Every structure is written in C-alpha cells, then in structure tokens.
Amino acid sequence: MATSRPFLRLSLLSALVLVSACKKQEAAKPEGAPSDAPAATAPKAKTLKVGLVTDVGGRGDHSFNDSALRGLELWGAGKKMEGGSYKDATPEELKETLAQDLATRGISPVGATPVVLQSKVPEDYEPNLQTLVDEGVSLAIGVGFMLENAVETVAKRNPDAKFLLIDSPLVSADGKVYTLPNVRTVMYREEQGSFLVGALAALASKNDKVGFVGGMEVPLIKKFEAGFRAGVAAVKPQATVLVNYTGTFDNVAAGKQVGQDLVNKGADVVYHAAGSDGLGVIQAVKEARAAGKQVFVIGVDSDQSHLAPEAVLTSMLKRVDLGVYEAVRDLSQGKLEGGDVTLGLKEGGVTYAPVRVDFPGKAEALQKVEELRAKVVSGEIQVPTHPSQLTAAPAKP
Amino acid sequence: MLEIIEALLSSTLEYFPALLFAALGATLSERSGVVNVGVEGMMRAGAFCAAVAAITFPTPVGVLVGMLAGAGMAAIHGYLCIRWRSDQVVSGMAINLVALAGGTYLLESLYGPNGTPPIHQLTRWHLPGLSEVPLLRVLSGHSALTWLALVLPFAFHGLLYRTPLGLRLRAVGEKPHAVATLGLSVTGLRWLAVLGSGMLAGLGGATLSTAVLDRFEQHTPAGLGFMALAAMVFGRWTPLGAFLAALFFAFGGALRIGLASSAPGLLEVVPQGFLLALPYVLTLAVLAFQGQRTHAPAALGTPYEQESR
C-alpha cells in the first residue's frame, strides 16, 4: 500500500506536465511564438484572450470581484454569464449598467474573450495567474490588493506577458513602491469619492452631527476618513464628525456596536469604510430607524442600497469595472503600457451611487454636491488624503 | 454623564450574551475533564444553522436548531476524545477548521459568499415600566437571550454546586477513577458535559446570527469563541466567574468604543491595539500569576482509561 503512493504521485505529476504541455502548444498556434513584445504589436481582435483571477471573494460577491468581472465580461466582451456559460448580452443590458456619468464615455465591447479563474484560497493566486500565462492570454488581471505578491512574482517570471493589478501598486520586499514594464496597476482616489458623500452626509444631517466608522486603522482607510471629514467641513464647517474604528474588517458585531455608539451619541448620518464590519453598521442604523430615529447610513465600494433600502442614503463607489475595461480597451488598441494609473472623480474612477431615499432639501443638496464634484475635477479643491492634513490645509468650500 | 453610562451598559448587555453562553459551554466541558478549544467552531455551526433554519421557520426554532448544531459538532469532539481517547486539543482545533471551511463551503453553495438572506430578528422586549426609570431602563429593548444570559449563570452555579449531578460532573474532572469506583459511568458523564457544552456554544453562535444580527455573515463568530475560552480561564472555570469575566470583557469592549468617539485625544496616548489585546493580556496574566495553585480541573485533558492509575 505504502509503496504505491510515490508511483501514484509520479503518474499524477506526469499527467499534469502532459496537460500543461498540450495547453502551451494549443496557445502557441494562434498567437505565434510568444517572444519579444507579442501583445504590444496590435493583437488581432479575434485572439484577444484576456484572463482574470478573482480574489477569494469570487464571483457573486456583489462588490469588488463582480465589478471587475463586469468590466471584462460585459463591457469588454459583451458577454454575460448565465447558468455556467457565456451568452451574448444585448446592447440594452450593457447600457443598463452604465451610470449617467459613464454613458458618454463610449464604453462598448472590444471583442475580448474572457478566461476567468476563481481563487478559493490565497494559495491559488499565483498558480492561477501562471495558468493564464500558460494559456497564452494577452493580459492577465489580478483583482484586489491581495494578489499583489502573486502578480509581482508571475510578472517577473514571465516578462513577455502583460498584467493588470487592481487597487495596489507593486511593493518590493523592503516596502518600496516600484513599477514593472509589463504590469499596469490601477488605484483609486477614495478620498475624492468620500469627500462628496461627506458633503451629502452633512447636508442630509439634521442635528449637524455625522459619524465615520473605519475598519483597521491603516493608511487606506485614513484616506476615506480624511476625504469624508473634508467633505463635511466644506458644506457645514460647524458640523461635528464622530470618528471610530472597529480594528477589524471581519467582525460584524463590532461594526454594529460601533454604529450604535455613534447613533446613540447623536450622529444621524453614518459613513462606513469597514469591510464586513460595515454590515453591522448598516444593521445598527436599520434598528435605530425601527426604533423611530431618523438616521441614514452611507455604504462603500459598491451600491449597498439593497441591504437596507430605506436606510442607505448612498454609497461611495469604486469603479473597478472601469479600471478593468480601460485596460482591456487599451490592449485592443495596442497601447497598454506598464505603470501606475490613478482614477479619481475626474476619470470616473470614484463617485457616489444614486440617492434613492428622500430627505428635506434633497434637490438642493444634490446640486451642491455636483458643484463640489466640478470643483474637485477642475482641481480647485484639493482633497486631503490623511486626517493630519485636515487642520493644516482645510478644504476650501 | 448619565446618558454615557447608560449607553455603555446597554451596549454591554447587548454583546455579552453570546460570549457568556460560549464561556459557560467551555466551562461545562472542561469541568468534566474534556478540553474544548472547539468552541469557536461549535459557535460557527450554531450561528449558521440557526440562520438557515430561521429562513423557513420562526426564529426561536432557529435558535433551537443552532443549539442542536453545536451539540452535533460536540458529538464529533466527544466521539474522538471520549470514545477513542484522542488528543483533546487536536480534536478541538480540527472542529474549528472543519466549521470554518465547511461553513464557508455550505454558505457559498447555498446563498453566495457573503451571507444568508436576512431573517426575522428575535423580538426585542420593551418593558413599559422600566423605560422611565433612569439606569434601569438599559434593561429594556433587548432580546430574551439577554435575560437568559442574566439568569443562566446562577442556575448553572446551582446545578454544579448544589446537586448530586453537579458533584459528579466536577468529580469526573478531578478524579475520574474515584467516580468509577462508585459505580458511575465516567464516559456517560463526560458525554453529557460535552454535548451540553456544544449546545451552549451553539446557543452563543445562534445569538450572533438571530439577536445581534439578522443573518449569518461569512466571518461569524470572528474569534469570539477564543475570547470565550479566555473568559473561562479568567473566571477560574466557574459559572459565576465566567459570568463576571464575560461582563467585564463586554464592558471593556463597550468602553473602548465609547471612549474612541467621545475622547479621541485619549487614543493618541493609548494605542487602540493595546485596548483590543487587553482581554487576552489579562488572561495570560491570570494564568501566569496563579502559579502552582492552578484552578483548572485536575484531570483536564487526560482521556479516561479504566485500567490506568
């Protein structure tokens, strides 16, 4: 019994080698030898194979991964996933997913062929990316900062393949940010989106007291806090912002406790940037409303309105789909280059979700927020990226 | 000032039941001599099954299903540790791993990765008489589970120290052979304690998904089971000790959150991380300072074998 084990392993291994060898041959046929700069020399639209590796959230997370998949499958390829296979999407279906500010951006399918691999555990990231490279994709996309290491490793190992990394720059082992010629990274100006929802929160607040719930106290979340507080100060300098951090991203109970604390202390609009803890914040606000309090919550990353339609004022949106689509489009035009891309309000990378609830003075508030958007876009207002910059250089209204 | 204190107490009462039930569960199992580090996993199973059952049945039924699920996980633990005398810590960790992965798998295949659909939360009791009285009004507006959590430790104390069954349960944790010479079944008593422990841990998990939240969320219970073990040690393996420890930990958490928004200056002096780590630091301190006079049951972690002496 014991002796047969190594043989089993060996035969499995050789089968694996065979399979991957076959794959390589297959992929090599349509694209030619993948040597110096194959993708840069305008690949034919027919063979524009684009791979994508999700993080452990996977398809159906209503957030980060689904947004990235929309950018590739629906916008880039004109396809939708239905019952485990791709179907062609109608132009109407595509149009439905384009918010007003994206409608004029000329988003239309560029004939990409999506190859999607889902990651079940973090250990999947690297092999999944390598598999895509072996499949001969023209671009391999890693969704989320958790794939940073994997993208870095695989990109260095395969200098001829192209990569897109969402939400993180490349960071070397000693903590320095750097770029690789074959990796594009997309980051977002979360502080700008937070600035707008901050202004909206202040305008919707009746007792001039709003709250911010952060997850872990890390620079990324501090960016949200700084933008939010600047937004409040821009429209209501006299308003108070209560700030509280849960210290985690995965403890809903802690999020709810912090949310209740802020509501009890009089905050009537609460913004969260706390991952799963945020679901607890939404829950706290929902319960406070059930108890007769007039309070709202602001979601983050994707439109969280469906979690509590009457309680969610709006959500700060991060357009992962746009970052993915633009890379795919650039690839189809043969102009995808390495380096860092940062998407803010101006580029449509961040914004806020449609306001579906009613509050007194809604129309004027939205108008005011749109005025602020124009000022941030034109550069008239510089939104701080860390709370320490708030007192030093307050955002001018 | 009164308002701040009331907010603190109300918050404490909302969050200590889940911790307390799990800590009582751990205490019950360990008093009978069976280490239970699988509390986290049993809570997860309880939280998940309670939420799933509450989608179709009334929520109290969901809570009962959650308790049974916890007992089911405990049965695996008992089968391995009592029947086959395997290492109790290893078995407990295995329970945690199985619950973590199994819960994620079932959640994803049934409802998607984030959580179950929302259920009806357990009814909150608003007591008309109490809501006018300062301080005491914090007791109003909680679910029945909060009230159960205020009563159960005393009932459990009575059971453990005032009944023959309690004496026997404590005895199998201290000197199982002495219990055996009286003609009592050591394995039977341990099975009873381990299954009860699973039910209590399952109840703790069900509290999270039916009273604190209104659904099972993918990360539940996010380490609360380990906090419960800390409360058990801090409470010196007694029900009333676990009660005070759970109250203390929950109050500490509420205080940290309350201070963060009321006195933001304070957190610049005392780092958040320190406050987050405080319960565990205190537990380590208790373990370190009790030295020789350990309060843990003498036979804890030792599988019972009739022939050994």
Instruction: Please write the tens of the pLDDT for every residue from A337-356.
Output: 999 999 999 999 999 999 99
Judge contact between A81 and A115, C-beta under 8 A.
no
Q: Please name the residue of chain B whose CA is at the shortest distance from the CA of residue A282.
A: B213
pLDDT band at A236 (very low <50, low <70, confident <90, very high): very high
Residue A397, in any domain of the structure? no
If asked whether residues A107 and A183 sit together in one domain, one would say: yes
Predicted local distance difference test score (pLDDT) of residue B291: 60
Measured between CB atoms, does A216 come within 8 Å of chain B?
no
If asked whether residues A61 and A177 sit together in one domain, one would say: yes
Which amino acid does the sequence have at A359?
Answer: F
- Give the count of domains, chain A: 2
Domain B2-125+143-289 CATH class label: mainly alpha
A326-331 — which CB contacts under 8 Å span 24+ positions?
A: A327/A139, A327/A141, A327/A164, A327/A184, A327/A186, A328/A48, A328/A50, A328/A71, A328/A72, A328/A75, A328/A76, A328/A110, A328/A112, A328/A139, A329/A76, A329/A110, A331/A39, A331/A43, A331/A48, A331/A50, A331/A112, A331/A138, A331/A139, A331/A162
CB contact under 8 A, A279 and B217: yes
Q: Please name the residue of chain B whose CA is at the shortest distance from the CA of residue A281.
A: B213
Average pLDDT over residues A297-308: 90
> From the candidates A261, A270, A307, which should be mutated to test the interface with B, based on the most B CB atoms within 10 A?
A261
If asked whether residues A183 and A197 sit together in one domain, one would say: no
If asked whether residues A46 and A165 sit together in one domain, one would say: yes
Pair type for strands A269-273 and A296-301: parallel
Between CA A12 and CA A136 the distance in angstroms is: 24
Measured between CB atoms, does B276 come within 8 Å of chain A?
yes
Predicted local distance difference test score (pLDDT) of residue A340: 94
Between CA B52 and CA A172 the distance in angstroms is: 44
Predicted local distance difference test score (pLDDT) of residue A301: 86
Instruction: Identify which of B7, B213, B273 has the shortest CB distance to residue A280.
Output: B213
Phi, psi of B30 (to 5 degrees): -75, -30
Instruction: Please write the tens of the pLDDT for every residue from A202-212.
Output: 999 999 999 99
In degrees, to the nearest 5, what angle opens at C-alpha A183 toward C-alphas A177 and A186?
Answer: 70
Provide the percentage of residues in chain B whose pLDDT is more than 90. 59
Predicted local distance difference test score (pLDDT) of residue B157: 97
CB contact under 8 A, B18 and A243: no
Between CA B215 and CA B11 the distance in angstroms is: 20
In this structure, the number of other CB atoms found within 10 A of the CB of residue B272 comes to 15
Between CA A208 and CA A191 the distance in angstroms is: 21
Predicted local distance difference test score (pLDDT) of residue B293: 63
Measured between CB atoms, does A290 come within 8 Å of chain B?
no
Instruction: Give the CB-side neighbour count of residue A155, counting CA atoms within 13 A.
Output: 24
Residue A17, in any domain of the structure? no
Instruction: Please write the tens of the pLDDT for every residue from B83-97.
Output: 999 999 999 999 999
Instruction: Identify which of B11, B213, B272 has the shortest CB distance to residue A252.
Output: B213
CB contact under 8 A, A253 and B208: yes
In this structure, the number of other CB atoms found within 10 A of the CB of residue A53 comes to 29
> From the candidates A251, A252, A287, which should be mutated to test the interface with B, based on the most B CB atoms within 10 A?
A252
Between CA B76 and CA B101 the distance in angstroms is: 16
With 60 as the cut, is the pLDDT of residue A10 above it?
no
Task: Enter the pTM of the model.
Answer: 0.79
Residue A1, in any domain of the structure? no
Judge contact between B185 and B170, C-beta under 8 A.
no
Residue A61, in any domain of the structure? yes
Provide the percentage of residues in chain A whose pLDDT is more than 90. 61
Predicted local distance difference test score (pLDDT) of residue B218: 84
With 60 as the cut, is the pLDDT of residue B75 above it?
yes
Predicted local distance difference test score (pLDDT) of residue A173: 87
With 90 as the cut, is the pLDDT of residue A20 above it?
no
Average pLDDT over residues A279-295: 92
If asked whether residues A203 and A179 sit together in one domain, one would say: no
Between CA B295 and CA B233 the distance in angstroms is: 8
Instruction: Please write the tens of the pLDDT for every residue from A365-389.
Output: 999 999 999 999 999 999 999 988 8
SS3 A288: helix
Range of the domain at A372: 190-311+357-392
With 50 as the cut, is the pLDDT of residue A22 above it?
no
Q: B-contacting residues of A 2-61, CB under 8 Å? A: 57-58, 60-61
If asked whether residues A179 and A195 sit together in one domain, one would say: no
Q: Considering only CB atoms, which chain B residues are within 8 Å of A253? A: 15, 18, 208, 212-213, 222, 224
CB contact under 8 A, B257 and A61: no
Length of chain B: 309
Judge contact between A320 and A132, C-beta under 8 A.
no
Length of chain A: 397
Q: What ipTM score was computed for the predicted complex, to two decimals?
A: 0.82
Q: Show me where the domains of chain B are located.
A: 2-125+143-289
Q: Considering only CB atoms, which chain B residues are within 8 Å of A265? A: 7, 261-262
CB contact under 8 A, A58 and B219: no
Residue A148, in any domain of the structure? yes
CA distance B103 to chain A (A): 14
What is B193-205 written as a DSSP string?
HHHHHHHHHHHHH
Between CA A256 and CA B222 the distance in angstroms is: 14
CA distance A221 to chain B (A): 15
If asked whether residues A114 and A253 sit together in one domain, one would say: no
Measured between CB atoms, does A283 come within 8 Å of chain B?
yes
Between CA A142 and CA A140 the distance in angstroms is: 7
Residue A259, in any domain of the structure? yes
Q: Which residue has the higher pLDDT, A316 or B115?
A: A316
Beta-ladder partners of A213: A244, A272
Instruction: Give the CB-side neighbour count of residue A337, counting CA atoms within 13 A.
Output: 4
CB contact under 8 A, A58 and B253: no
Size of interface A-B (CB pairs under 8 A): 82
Average pLDDT over residues A142-149: 91
Instruction: Please write the tens of the pLDDT for every residue from B29-46.
Output: 999 999 999 999 999 999
Between CA B251 and CA B242 the distance in angstroms is: 14
If asked whether residues A53 and A201 sit together in one domain, one would say: no
Provide the percentage of residues in chain B whose pLDDT is more than 70. 96
Instruction: Please write the tens of the pLDDT for every residue from A105-142.
Output: 888 899 899 999 988 788 999 999 999 999 999 999 99
Predicted local distance difference test score (pLDDT) of residue B7: 83
If asked whether residues A385 and A242 sit together in one domain, one would say: yes
Predicted local distance difference test score (pLDDT) of residue A27: 38
Instruction: Identify which of B217, B254, B258 has the shortest CB distance to residue A252.
Output: B217
B241-248 — which CB contacts under 8 Å span 24+ positions?
A: B242/B20, B242/B23, B242/B24, B242/B26, B242/B27, B242/B153, B243/B20, B243/B24, B243/B153, B245/B23, B246/B16, B246/B19, B246/B20, B246/B23, B247/B12, B247/B16, B247/B20
Measured between CB atoms, does A64 come within 8 Å of chain B?
no
Predicted local distance difference test score (pLDDT) of residue B174: 93
Predicted local distance difference test score (pLDDT) of residue B308: 65
Judge contact between A207 and A266, C-beta under 8 A.
yes
Q: What is the DSSP-derived secondary structure letter of residue A305?
A: G
With 50 as the cut, is the pLDDT of residue A42 above it?
no
Average pLDDT over residues B219-235: 91
Cis peptide before A309 (omega within 30 of 0): no
Distances (CA, A) of B240 to B154, B155, B205: 7, 10, 21
Measured between CB atoms, does A280 come within 8 Å of chain B?
yes
Q: Considering only CB atoms, which chain A residues are within 8 Å of B213? A: 252-253, 256, 279-280, 283
pLDDT band at A26 (very low <50, low <70, confident <90, very high): very low
Pair type for strands A79-82 and A339-343: unpaired
If asked whether residues A329 and A254 sit together in one domain, one would say: no
Predicted local distance difference test score (pLDDT) of residue B294: 64
If asked whether residues A120 and A156 sit together in one domain, one would say: yes
If asked whether residues A92 and A241 sit together in one domain, one would say: no
- Token pair 């027919």 is found at A46
Instruction: Identify which of B115, B257, B276 has the shortest CB distance to residue A244.
Output: B257
Range in A207-216, A268-277, B10-19, B128-137 the model is least confident about? B128-137
Q: A-contacting residues of B 47-86, CB under 8 Å? A: none
